[in-house]
Every structure is written in C-alpha cells, then in structure tokens.
Amino acid sequence: MSEHINISPSLMTMDLDQFKEQITFLNDRVDSFHIDIMDGHFVPNLSLSPWFIEQTRKLSYKEMSAHLMVTDPTFWVQQLINIKCEVICMPAENLTGIAFRLIDQIHAAGLKAGVVLNPETSVCDIMSYIDILDKITIMTVDPGFAGQRFLGSMLDKITELRKLREEHGYRYCIEMDGSTNKAHWKMIHDAKPDIYIIGRSGLFNLADNIEDSWNLMIAEFEEATGRKFA
C-alpha cells in the first residue's frame, strides 16, 4: 500500500554549492521547506535567516516554515512577518508572558503560528495556548546542530499530541525534527507525525546529486516501513 509522506527538507543541511539545483528538484516533490534560524545564544550555533528565505523564494513556490532557536522570538517574529513567511515556529521555552501576543500577531498577518518542543520540554508546558496553534514541532534530537543522537522516547509526545487533537478537535499539525533516516524511519513512521523534517543523514548526504539522494531516501523509507512512497 502506498501513502503520501509530507516531507519538509531542512535547508540548513543542504549543499549550498548546489542550491539552485536542489531547490528546483525538490519543488515538485515536497510540501514545504524547513528553515532553521539560530542566534548563537539559545543554541551555540548560527544558521539561516529571513534573508535566506527571501532568496529561496526566488526559486520556490512552496510553503516556508521557520524554526526559531532564539532567545528573543519577538525580534525575529516581526522580521518573518515582514517577509510573509508562511509558518513561524517559536521555542516554547522562551514564550512565557508573550505566547498569546506573538501567536495573535502572526495570525493577524494571515500566517500560521507554531511552537517547538525541545527534548526537555513537555506537552503540558503549552496547554494554555495549544488550542490556537497551527503546528507543533517535536525535537527528537538536542537542538542546534545536525547529527545529534536520536532520542526515541520523544516520539511519545507525538502520540500524546495526536490523542489530544482527536479528543478536543485541535487544529495543529504535528511535525518531528531530528535524525529522520534509515535507522529510525520505522519507529518515526509508527508514531505517525503529519510532517517529517529530513536533513543530512536522511537525504542530502546520501549521494552526490539530489536526484540520486531522493531516490535512495525513498528506497530506505520503503525498506524500513514496508510501505510504498507516493
């Protein structure tokens, strides 16, 4: 049996010397692009930016989803609103006292608002505003760097969020981020996230060119899950 898998490539892990080639190829095959924005404080790394989203938009018509790993989400949210980034996902750990304000600000601009739960952060921490979220991202690795150890127990949060959504009619989609690759495809697929973020180990590093990498990713998914990739 085949099924559609909602793939969101993490552009932090792509080959920038093949930027145009990779974006052009992926445009017709993925549902969205995942853009990590780090400030060097919330996590000890720097990554992409609103400017990068603007450059990607010159080649892509797909939805852009920004993953903020920052200490001051207010500063970055306004920049992303200015460029009309379709989805803005904020770190739950830094939303105390400003969650409703920022979510309302994003919605008022006609955009989607999400939060990211890092491994140490539980679903109960976002229950006061879960009903107005459009997306919840579950980190299955420590944030900030590619290639971190996979934390399989974090998949339990996906199961918990699916149950809450079914019971209460919440509208959020559930996304997972971290080590989506051959070793973990089966357990991730069994948890049933709505969106799979996939990066270096699951896509971009599988071959020297994006078409071969994509085909290898599909083969690994099908081998691990026993399902046909549609």
Q: Rounded CA gap, 175 and 195, in Å?
A: 5
Question: Burial code of 29-55, b = ≥16 C-beta within 10 A, e = fewer?
Answer: ebbbbbbbbbbeebbeeebbbbebbee
DSSP type of residue 202: I
111, 32, 119, 40 alpha-carbon torsion, rounded to 10°: -80
Q: Which residue has the tokens 């830094």?
A: 94
Mean pLDDT over all residues of the chain? 94
212 noted as active-site residue: no
Secondary-structure class of domain 2-225 per CATH: alpha beta
pLDDT for 183: 95
Give this prediction's pTM: 0.95
Tokens of residue 72, six digits: 């001051």
pLDDT for 145: 62
Q: What are the C-alpha distances in Å from 12 to residues 33, 72, 157?
A: 10, 21, 25
Does the pLDDT value for residue 39 go beyond 90? no
- Over range 42-48, report the average pLDDT: 71
Element (H, E) at 97: none
Tokens of residue 14, six digits: 């792509």
Residue of 44, 45, 37, 32 whose CA lies nearest to 73:
37
36 noted as active-site residue: yes
pLDDT for 46: 74
Tokens of residue 24, six digits: 């052009």
DSSP type of residue 149: P
Q: Rounded CA gap, 49 and 39, in Å?
A: 9
C-beta atoms surrounding 4 within 10 Å = 8
The residues spanned by each domain of the chain are 2-225
Tokens of residue 162, six digits: 């699916």
Catalytic residue among 36, 134, 194, 212: 36
Q: Which of 16-20, 87-91, 124-128, 142-146 has the lowest mean pLDDT?
A: 142-146
Does the pLDDT value for residue 2 go beyond 90? no
Catalytic residue among 15, 28, 156, 177: 177
Does the pLDDT value for residue 158 go beyond 90? yes
- Over range 195-223, report the average pLDDT: 96
Q: What are the C-alpha distances in Å from 29 to residues 4, 67, 107, 155?
A: 11, 21, 28, 25
Decide which of 187 and 40 is more confident: 187
pLDDT for 87: 98
Does the pLDDT value for residue 92 go beyond 80? yes
